[in-house]
């Protein structure tokens, strides 16, 4: 699939990387959903590579502790810590802001990183996101105090409070895992520049994320248009 292992300066595997390695390339950091592992998400690199805007991109797909080939224990704390480490690894190479993509559970990780490092993010694309994991639990178990049993919170709405850059939200209209109303509520609560894309007939696992999906062009064009001036200038 054209990926190479992505390692820290100490040689620890933290994910996979593919794309243009030149200093002019825009770097995109992807946080995948709960099922599977990072190497399963090659479709993100395919979609980013296929764009017609002529921009060079390099896609980094973070692996979570306890997933795939990465050792460790899975939790919100370890996921967010891994996201911070990944961002700092990239910023140590070059200080320019990073583009983030968060898919499903990964949208919570992306928002957690946005809360802690808002100045380091050029743009944020969230796919089937939620307001908070507790809201997802309450939707599935309405007759139980499910939100009180959760160890991990993934409060995405709180995560976006200190972030003011461009936001794109992609929702599956018939999502049976994350109720679409939660993604809409997260979008409505955000006060910065934003765009919403909703695939009305798609469910959580049939959302069209392929390279040929037309929404990619519009979403990336919007993110670039609303990105900080210094980041936009990289195209010139």
CATH number at residue 10: 3.40.50.1820
- pLDDT (0 to 100) of residue 219: 96
What distance, in Å, lies between the first and last C-alpha atoms of the chain? 30
Residue 14 lies in a domain: yes
Give a yes or no: residue 77 inside a domain: yes
Average pLDDT, the chain: 93
Average pLDDT (71-89) is 97
Interval 150-207: pLDDT, tens: 788 899 999 999 999 999 999 999 999 999 999 999 999 999 999 999 999 999 999 9
Token pair listed for 29: 């950091």
Domain of residue 158: give its range.
4-224
- Residue 181 inside a domain? The answer is yes
pLDDT band at 234 (very low <50, low <70, confident <90, very high): low
As for how many domains the chain has, the answer is: 1
Question: 103-152, pLDDT tens digit by residue?
Answer: 999 999 999 999 999 999 999 999 999 999 999 988 988 887 776 677 88
pTM: 0.94
- The predicted structure's pLDDT at residue 202: 98
Buried b (16+ CB within 10 A) or exposed e, 77-100: eebbebbeebbebbeeeeebbbbb
């Amino acid at each position: 699939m054209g990926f190479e292992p992505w390692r820290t300066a100490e040689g620890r595997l933290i994910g996979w990387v593919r794309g243009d390695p030149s200093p002019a390339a825009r770097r995109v950091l992807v946080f995948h959903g709960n099922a599977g592992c990072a190497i399963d998400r090659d479709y993100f690199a395919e979609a980013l590579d296929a764009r017609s805007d002529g921009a060079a991109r390099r896609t980094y797909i973070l692996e979570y502790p306890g997933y795939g080939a990465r050792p460790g224990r899975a939790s919100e704390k370890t996921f967010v810590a891994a996201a911070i480490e990944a961002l700092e690894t990239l910023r140590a190479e070059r200080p320019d802001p990073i583009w983030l993509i968060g898919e499903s559970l990964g949208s919570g990780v992306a928002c957690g990183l946005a809360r802690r490092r808002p100045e380091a993010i050029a743009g944020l694309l969230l796919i089937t996101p939620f307001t908070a994991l507790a809201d997802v639990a309450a939707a599935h178990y309405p007759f139980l105090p499910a939100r009180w049993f959760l160890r991990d919170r993934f409060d995405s709405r709180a995560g976006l409070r200190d972030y003011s850059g461009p936001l794109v939200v992609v929702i599956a209209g018939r999502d049976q895992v994350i109720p679409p109303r939660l993604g809409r509520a997260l979008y409505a609560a955000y006060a910065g520049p934003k765009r919403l894309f909703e695939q009305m007939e798609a469910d959580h696992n049939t959302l069209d994320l392929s390279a040929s999906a037309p929404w990619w062009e519009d979403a990336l064009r919007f993110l670039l248009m609303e990105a900080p001036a210094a980041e936009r200038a990289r195209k010139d």
